[in-house]
Amino acid sequence: MKYLDEFRDGQLAQGLAAHIRQAVAPNRHYALMEFCGGHTHAICRYGIEDLLPDTIRLIHGPGCPVCVLPSGRLQAAIELVERERLILCSYGDLLRVPGAHGDTLLKAKARGADIRMVYSISDALEIARAHPERSVVFFAIGFETTTPPTAVVIRQAQQEGLRNFSVYCNHVLTPPALRALLAAGGEVDGFIGPAHVSTIIGSQPYEFVARDHQRPLVIAGFEPLDMLRAIAMLIRQINAGEAIVENEYTRAVSAAGNRKAQGLMEEMFRVRPTFEWRGLGWLPDSALAIRPEFAEWDAEQRFEMPPIQAADHKACACGEVLRGVKHPQDCTVFGTACTPEHPLGSCMVSAEGACAAYYHYGRFRQAAAS
């Protein structure tokens, strides 16, 4: 397939892997964090670790919007749909994420709540058009990549005068999360940055990683060769004692990003003073809320949605996994009490969760090691 096969070529991969093996210094270890869950899945799905020397350790970051959504925000959605008897549209991934006391949207659906799985916010808008007598709420989650489409659709709803449609906004921002990880310390030698986010925000917002924390960051695409190349670029910087922001994904990312999309986000959203992340806690300036001018399309302003504090399951180590402090297999309930069928934490549910990636693609390594 054009534009894909080129980035999955096994022979090119062998060449790059050989280059990396030669480049690594013999007596040092490299801890590299890929921020984004999409990268984690590419690593596991293509078996990228098999091609790397043992001295390179990949640490998985918090870049999974489903994973970082705190239980309380999810529980608020469950209570909203059951109390207001409205139609809640959600991505499939969210349906099985545990809220308070293990409740899920899927269980609410089985109890009779009208919860519809959609592939995009446009599908939710379509449902609102088709059911003018019902209130329709879209459960918006995601980093900067998925935020502009939310802005476009809210504006569309405004233009159409569609008053039965609103958005439960849970959009979060990448740089503040990275800032929190760096502030917490840790031994990460370099970062792989998410290319899709950078198609919107550009590479400039990551400059602080290099400038203030002296860590290299390479923005990489999601194909396996992109990742190998980014790893090679990071190794080069680390060996040379450099710390700059480099762009591997030159086919779509520029320093300034997509100004039009940024403008749309600016027009529609304001930055929340603080927002709770599962695993990372309350982070300042880390999430977006819909501006008061568009209050009519903001579920949080339209309906009563009191903040809910819900504790995660006691045995769940999602927090440590999201901070990169623990590997999925280090969690005591990984693959035993917590499986994709019966998840105790969000990282086992999401298609971008590190635990799900290890469970689906990498369990045999753990078995071989024991």
Partner 1 sequence: MSRRDLFPRRLDIAHGCIEMTHGGGGRAMAQLIEELFLTAFDNEWLRTQDDCAQFAIPASRLVMATDSHVVSPLFFPGGDIGCLSVHGTINDVAMAGARPLYLAASFILEEGFPLADLKRIVESMAQAARQAGVAIVTGDTKVVERGKGDGVFITTTGIGIVAAGVTISASRAQPGDAILLSGAIGEHGMAVLSQRENLSFDTPIQSDTAALHELVAAMVTAVPDIHCLRDPTRGGLATALNEIAQQAGVGMRLQEAAIPLREPVRALGEFLGLDPLYIANEGKLLAICPAAAADKLLAAMRDHPLGQEAAIIGQVVADDHHFVEMKTVFGGSRLVDWLSGEQLPRIC
- Nearest approach in angstroms of CB 176 to partner 1 is 27
For partner 1, the closer CB: 46 or 275: 46
CB of 18 to partner 1, least distance (A): 11
Closer residue to partner 1 in complex, CB, 17/76? 17
Query: What is the Cα–Cα distance from 229 to 322, expressed in whole angstroms?
Result: 24
| Chain centre distance of CA 16 | 27
Q: For strand 56-63 and strand 30-36, is the pairing parallel, antiparallel, or unpaired?
A: parallel
Least distance to partner 1, CB of residue 339, Å: 8
- Closest separation in Å from C-beta 57 to partner 1: 16
Three-state secondary structure call for residue 216: coil
Instruction: Tell me how far, at minimum, the Cβ of 364 lies from partner 1, in Å.
Output: 5
Please say which residue, 218 or 356, places its beta carbon nearer to partner 1. Answer: 356
* Minimum distance from residue 368 beta carbon to partner 1 (Å): 9
Name the CA dihedral angle for 266, 270, 276, 281, rounded to a multiple of 10 degrees.
70
Q: Which is nearer to partner 1, 42 or 218 (CB)?
A: 42
Residue with smaller CB distance to partner 1, 70 or 224: 224
HSE of 181, CA atoms in CB hemisphere, 13 A: 30
**Least CB distance to partner 1 at residue 118 (A):** 7
Contact 223, 8 (CB under 8 A): yes
Give just the sign of the alpha carbon dihedral 71, 292, 155, 261.
negative
Encoded tokens for 174: 């990448």
Q: Kindly state the smallest distance separating residue 4's Cβ from partner 1, in Å.
A: 6
Q: Which two tokens stand for residue 124?
A: 């939710």
Q: Smaller CB distance to partner 1: residue 13 or 261?
A: 13
- Catalog residues that contact partner 1 under the rule CB under 8 A: 1, 4, 8, 10, 13-14, 17, 44-51, 96, 118-119, 123, 126, 224, 340-341, 351, 356, 359-364, 367
Give CA separation, 97 vs 36, 55, 112, 273, 323, in Å: 19, 35, 18, 26, 19
Phi, psi of 2 (to 5 degrees): -65, 145
- Find out whether 209 and 191 touch, Cβ atoms under 8 Å: yes
Name the residue among 69, 111, 143, 43 with its Cα closest to residue 349.
Answer: 69
C-beta of residue 156 within 8 angstroms of C-beta of residue 263: no
Cβ nearer to partner 1, comparing 96 with 171: 96
Measured from the CB atom, is 65 or 175 closer to partner 1? Answer: 65
